[in-house]
Amino acid sequence: MRARTEGQGIGISRRGVFLWMGALLLASLLLSVMVGSVPIKPQEAIQALVKGGAGSDDAVATIVRKIRLPRALLAGIVGACLSLAGLGFQAISRNPLADPSILGVSSGASFGLMVAMLLGVAGPTSNPAVTTLFAFAGALLAAALVYAIARVDGRLPMTTLLLSGVIVGLFFTSCVMLATVLLAAAELQGVIFWLMGNLGPASTGSLGVLAVVLGIGVAALFREAPRLNVLALGEEQALQLGVEAERVKRVVFVAASLITGAAISAAGSIGFVGLIVPHAARLLLGPDNRNLVPMSVLLGAAFLILADLGARTVAGATELPVGVITSFCGAPLFVYLLRRRRGTESW
């Protein structure tokens, strides 16, 4: 029986799935370093990554180490953050359609960041930890609002959750628009590009802050994973099984808002990643959160690296915002999940 409870229905063992997805992540990382306006051969890319430029010519080393690798790392960490946040929101709302962008949490984080800009504490030279903190506060505020509005008799029904997510999202988007009017014209173009989702050049500092925040998020969610599983039985059953449901939800709620805030402040608003990736991870490994937490990190990183690669290449020399790619993947999936659920559940 043990074997049957662990593997999911795709005919590969759990370890096999993790190995394959780990390989996918490495492959996408390598690919994103190789592909661009200056194509780089695989062995050159690996050499530049491993040996730090010695032996390969300097231009290649510079492109790889100074431009493409930081960008790929940023995409990877942001993808992991957004996926993990989606997984967390889904687990505590018991709803596979929850996602930072759908719940309006991303808009809240954007608003927090605009406030930081208006106060003059966000900018190219500012401390990434401070901007992250502002985005975190905005995300937390939006998430708290959504849950407060959606709550009916201590439960979070699907319809009210989605509707309040839309409302809160629209509200904070308006706040962001208001803030853009107040910003100086010089700052405006950067802001708009960032709002569309921008994985531009990343500083080592902001990568460091992101990595630390992701680490905190992974630790918090992995620790609570067994309790998140029990929470799938409903809050009342979770309490009756000895799970302090309120505490678990609070911890995951704050952690998910934190990683959303960090991702948004580093890369702007990138939608649907938190919806797509946990769904794919569930297809591969089943709904056990002890597997989904590490798998969402792996898959989320690989997905956004590849999406960014697509954004850089599909339109030739014109770079698309990566949020366009993720939305084109995510919106149809959302519709599919919504339609499928309507048949099985009254709401």
Would you count residue 94 as binding another protein (CB under 8 A)? yes
Query: Total residues contacting another protein (rule CB under 8 A)?
Result: 28
Position 83: which residue type?
A: S
Say how far apart CA 46 and CA 56 lie, in whole Å. Answer: 10
Distance of CA 107 to the CA centre of its chain: 14
Q: For another protein, what does the binding mask look like between residues 276 and 315, x meaning CB under 8 A?
A: ------x---xxx---------------------------
Residue from the set 48, 109, 191, 230 that interacts with another protein by CB under 8 A: 230
Shortest Cβ 9–another protein spacing (Å) = 8
Say how far apart CA 336 and CA 102 lie, in whole Å. Answer: 15
Q: Which of residues 153-212 bind another protein (CB under 8 A)?
A: none
DSSP 183: S
Would you count residue 232 as binding another protein (CB under 8 A)? yes
Would you count residue 338 as binding another protein (CB under 8 A)? no
Exposure letters 75-89 (e unless 16+ CB within 10 A, then b): bbbbbbbbbbbbbbb
Residue from the set 11, 120, 242, 316 that interacts with another protein by CB under 8 A: 242
Shortest Cβ 229–another protein spacing (Å) = 7
Question: Applying CB under 8 A, which part among 65-73, 106-114, 138-146, 228-236 lies near another protein?
Answer: 228-236
Region class of 193: left (phi > 0), else alpha (psi between -120 and 50), else beta: alpha
SS3 label, residue 235: helix
Shortest Cβ 287–another protein spacing (Å) = 4
Residue 169 Cα distances to 82, 108, 206, 323, 329, angstroms: 16, 7, 26, 16, 20
Which residues in this chain contact another protein in the complex, by CB under 8 A? Answer: 1-2, 4-5, 94-96, 226-227, 229-234, 236-237, 239-244, 282, 286-288, 344
